[in-house]
Structure formats: C-alpha cells, structure tokens
A and B are shown apart, each in its own frame.
Chain A
Amino acid sequence: MIHFVLLISRQGKVRLTKWYSAYSQKERTKVIRELSGLILTRGPKLCNFVEWRGLRVVYKRYASLYFCMCIDEDDNELEILEIIHHYVEVLDRYFGSVCELDLIYNFHKAYFILDELLIAGELQEPSKRTVARLVAAQDSLVETAKEQTSSITNIIAQAAK
C-alpha cells in the first residue's frame, strides 16, 4: 500500500502531497522535512529506494521534480517506479510535455489526475487512455457548468438593464 505521495522540487518546495494513511497535520510537516533532507541529498547514480522509519520510500527524479511514494517493506519497489512513471506519462499527456510550472499553477489538476490513478493507496487504472478520458470528461462537466452560470448571469444582467 502506498502511504503517501509527495512531489518535491529540487529546492525542497512541496508541489503536491497526498496522504493515504493517517498522519496528523503536524506529522505531515515533519515527514516532508525529514524526507526532503534524505532524498534531495542523494547522488544521481544511487538506487531509488530509501529506508525510512521501517517503511520504504521510492523516489524518482523527473527534471527538477522528485516524485516520492512511501510504501510498506514488503511492497514491490520496482512496480512503484512504474506507477510513478505511469503518473508522469499521464501528466505529460494532459499538459502536453509537462513542466514544474504547470504543476504549480494547475496543482488542482495534478490532484484530480492522481485521484483517477490511485485510491486508498492502491492503483486504480492501468490504462493511461482511460485516465485521460475520465479527467477530460470531468473537465468538460466543469466547463459546461461554467458556461451555464455565465449565460445565466448574462440573462440576469440584461434583465436588470
């Protein structure tokens, strides 16, 4: 089971956090601080696994961002690397060659995509196309709702004239 997902920039800034196990807000801050110290300092050629508090953290760096997932000791580390890559590919497809700025300004979208990929710390969908389709469908629901409200506002505005 994945206990949490962290996206941390090379400078140690948090770009996304998702918690599937119970960590209080205070613990969360502590965990993030501890892990960024542990992971950001590791050399580029070392393995992608760090042992931490009896758990294992699998991380992978994409450009300036570190994607980290914390798992149980008996989980498959290599598979987690694939899941991270899976997520990155979906992000890439969604934003079109994703970069850190996309994830900063559209952080909520990164969350929405992650929610289509993982629930309760387990993988939900192995197909990138399906994930993309589901996110797109929900985005269009938002668009429609937005158009409706704006048209209603227009009608009200005109009526008020």
Chain B
Amino acid sequence: MEPLKQHIKKVFATLRGDLKTRRECLTSTEALWESLINTVEQYHCCSRAQEGKTNVAVFRDFPEANEKLQTKLVSTMSLLVDRIQKKMPVLEKTSKAAHTGWQSTWQLLAKQGRHVDVAESVKGTSTEPCLADMLLWLQRLNLLLQQDYAERAWMLESMDFESETLMVGYHSLWLSKQKILQQEIDTIFAYLQFSVG
C-alpha cells in the first residue's frame, strides 16, 4: 500500500504546480473577457441605435460610419477571442496531467491491488489522509478538470457575437466555473497539505 500512497502524493505534488499555472492563466483571461463584453455591448448599442434613430444627424450625414464601426468592432471581438483561445493549451495541459496521473495511479492499483489491505486503506489521521480518500480526490479532480476544459473549449467554439445575451451568459459562466472549481481544489489540497508538503 505504501508505494501506491507515495505515487498518489507525487501525482498531487505535480498537479499542484500545474493547477497554480492554470489559475494564473485563467486570471489573465478575465481582462480579455471584460474587453470582449464591452465590445459586444458597443456592437449591440450601434445596431439598436441605427435601427431606432433615423433622424440622428450623425447617422444621416455619415450613413456608412456605423457599418464601418461595426466591422471594426467585429474585428476587435475576433482578436480578443483569439487571445483567449491562445490560453487554452495551458488548461488542456493541466487536464491532461490530471488524466495521466489518474491513469498511472489506476494502473498501479491494478498491479498491486491484491496487496492492499482494504481495512487499512480507509484508516487515516488528521495529517495523513487514508488511501481511499486520496484515490477518490484524485478521481474527482481528474473528472472536474476534464469537464471544465471541455466546457470552456465548447464555449469558445460556440460564441455568437450577434447574441448579446449569450455572450454575457458565457462571460458569467467562465468566471463562476473557476470560482466553484477553485473551491474544490482548495478543499482537496487543504486535506493534503501535511502529507503532500
């Protein structure tokens, strides 16, 4: 059982570094999202202004200005989405690291499972969690990170600048997901702080 425990601790120690990088990466996307949503708002204000106010002097005297502006805004939005997209490899790397860690742990468990005392595997202390808990946390972390990456990638793929509601919703979701996931991560590593180091 000891080699298995040591392996899991090593996996968590590596993951901790990856998760820190992931968190910093996501923090850096917040400013990009703010700019994106501001630009989306401008784009939709322009559309509504153009539709509703045909007697506005600027629109009358410069009929092509609004269209030129919207072209520029779309270009800006695309650029911002590209920059957010460029952050995704970091998230992908972390989710893959969690998956690899979980896979290797599972393979080791399959090899050494017969040597693991089930009764001992559920015994832990305040500073040394039991094997069963550590396996569960690792499995959960792997699942959460896979799901999180897949959902974020899907959000970026399915963006639609024409829908202000959708874009605002995605922005809110992008931020809230990280908050929820980070709470889980912090809880797991709080339990592991003495054993993983």
Q: Do A and B originate from a single complex? A: no
Measured CB to CB, the residues of B under 8 A from A are none
Interface residues of A (CB under 8 A from B): none
